[in-house]
């Protein structure tokens, strides 16, 4: 039986890209955003790590 | 407290999806309307979960409407009066931006490359490493510019930034999405040394700014 596995790495990238857009893009109305800088930084750290993982996987392939 | 997810036309379809904290979403306002959810108080949950919930509402709206203008996560208003004041003040601008993004999706492209590792592999001395690194960076820039130019030519609008790597967003009319994917695939196949990640289609998050 063939099972097609979703690719968790790409799903994670999509999720982080979504969060990146939601936090940093989109129309600003009041500029009074309740999120801390640390939360936003986490998104970028995650993105960089994931991109590095993809690069490593593709080099190994 | 009222959370705002996006702006749409009054006649827009609002899908059945829960907002942040499971709150129901609804349209508010005439002409241009805001898609909102109402809350007893600010949620104290994980902000990343709330951000994802916000994003899923916006994407659900964009999947059934031609014109959706995403609002940044975290925009909240005390009551209808406060929200109505913004809707009045920004009406012209929101209307114009909705027209600009109508019928389009946003595609995101990031390019990263293992430049330091490759430079180290190619060089035997410190000077050689720096020379190899500069050459590889120049090569990467040439590829990135080529990719960006081709995608920009297909798109209604484009924005780019460098945050540790190239990042581009393209406002692409729906019938041209496949052509844009083909461009990305061609570059990916021709430049295995770079990591080119294309995501989307997204709601047009990067094209809501006030620009002429």
Residue with tokens 């939601």: A22
Region of residue B76 (left: phi > 0; alpha: psi -120 to 50; beta: else): beta
Q: Find the CB nearest A22 among B51, B113, B197.
A: B51
Q: Which CATH number fits domain B104-208: 1.25.40, 3.10.560, 3.30.70, 1.10.3430?
A: 3.30.70
pLDDT score at A4: 46
pLDDT at residue B96 tops 50: yes
Measured in residues, chain B has a length of 212
The residues, any chain, with a CB within 8 Å of residue B205's CB and separated by 6 or more, are A21, A22, A25, A26, B58, B70, B106, B169
Q: Report the pLDDT averaged over residues A16-29.
A: 88
Q: What is the mean pLDDT of chain B?
A: 90
pLDDT digits (tens, 9 = 90+) for B53-81: 999 999 999 999 999 999 999 899 999 99
With b meaning 16 or more CB within 10 Å and e meaning fewer, what string describes A19-38? bbbbbebbbebeeeeebeee
Q: Do A22 and B48 touch (CB under 8 A)?
A: no
Higher pLDDT, B42 or B201: B201
For residue B114, CA distances in Å to A44, A47, B33, B136, B199 come to: 18, 15, 46, 9, 20
pLDDT score at B190: 94
Domain boundaries, chain A: 36-61
Question: Chain B partners of A15 at a C-beta cutoff of 8 Å?
Answer: 52
DSSP string across B76-88: EESSHHHHHHHHH
User: Rounded to whole angstroms, how far apart are CA atoms A53 and B195?
Assistant: 10
Q: How many CB atoms lie within 10 A of CB B178?
A: 9
Q: How many CB atoms lie within 10 A of CB B153?
A: 9
Give the CA dihedral B13, B18, B24, B28, nearest 10 degrees: -40
> Per mean pLDDT, which of A10-19, A23-32, B92-101, B105-114 is the most reliable?
B92-101
Q: A29: nearest CA in chain B?
A: B75
H helix or E strand, kind and range, residue B32: strand B32-38
Q: Do A26 and B72 touch (CB under 8 A)?
A: yes
Question: Chain A partners of B69 at a C-beta cutoff of 8 Å?
Answer: 27
Q: Find the CB nearest A14 among B54, B77, B199.
A: B199
Q: Do residues A41 and B83 touch, judged by C-beta distance below 8 A?
A: no
Q: DSSP secondary-structure letter at B175? A: G
Q: Do B110 and A51 touch (CB under 8 A)?
A: yes
Percentage of residues of chain B with pLDDT beyond 70: 94
Least Cα separation, residue A60 to chain B (angstroms): 12
Instruction: Decide if B4 touches A, using CB distance below 8 A.
Output: yes
pLDDT score at B139: 87
Instruction: Decide if B126 touches A, using CB distance below 8 A.
Output: no
Considering only CB atoms, which residues of chain A are within 8 Å of chain B? 13-15, 17-19, 21-30, 32-36, 39, 42-44, 47-48, 51-52, 54-55, 58-59
Region of residue B22 (left: phi > 0; alpha: psi -120 to 50; beta: else): left
Q: What is the ipTM of this complex?
A: 0.84
Instruction: Decide if B54 touches A, using CB distance below 8 A.
Output: yes
pLDDT score at A1: 41
Least Cα separation, residue A22 to chain B (angstroms): 5
- At B27, the pLDDT band (50, 70, 90 cuts) reads very high
What the block records as the tokens of A19 is 């969060």
């Amino acid at each position: 039986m063939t099972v097609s596995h979703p690719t968790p790495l790409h799903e994670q990238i999509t999720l982080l890209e979504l969060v990146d857009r939601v936090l940093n893009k989109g129309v600003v109305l009041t500029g009074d955003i309740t999120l801390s800088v640390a939360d936003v930084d986490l998104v970028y750290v995650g993105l960089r790590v994931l991109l590095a993982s993809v690069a490593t996987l593709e080099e190994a392939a | 407290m009222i959370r705002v997810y996006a702006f749409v036309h009054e006649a827009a379809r609002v899908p059945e999806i829960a907002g942040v904290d499971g709150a129901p979403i609804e349209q508010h306002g005439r002409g241009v309307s805001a898609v909102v959810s109402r809350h007893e108080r600010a949620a104290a949950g994980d902000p990343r979960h709330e951000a994802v919930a916000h994003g899923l509402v916006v994407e659900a709206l964009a999947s059934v409407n031609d014109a959706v203008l995403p609002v940044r996560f975290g925009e909240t208003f005390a009551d209808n009066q406060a929200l109505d004041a913004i809707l009045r003040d920004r009406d012209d601008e929101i209307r114009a931006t909705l027209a600009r993004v109508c019928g389009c999706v946003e595609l995101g492209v990031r390019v990263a490359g293992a430049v330091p590792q490759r430079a180290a592999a190619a060089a035997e001395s410190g000077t050689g490493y720096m020379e190899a690194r500069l050459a590889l960076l120049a090569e990467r820039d040439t590829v990135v510019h080529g990719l960006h130019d081709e995608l920009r030519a297909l798109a209604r609008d484009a924005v780019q930034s460098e945050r540790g790597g190239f990042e581009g967003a393209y406002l692409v009319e729906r019938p041209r999405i496949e052509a844009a994917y083909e461009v990305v695939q061609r570059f990916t196949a021709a430049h295995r040394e770079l990591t080119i990640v294309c995501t989307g289609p997204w709601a047009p998050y990067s094209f809501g700014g006030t620009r002429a």
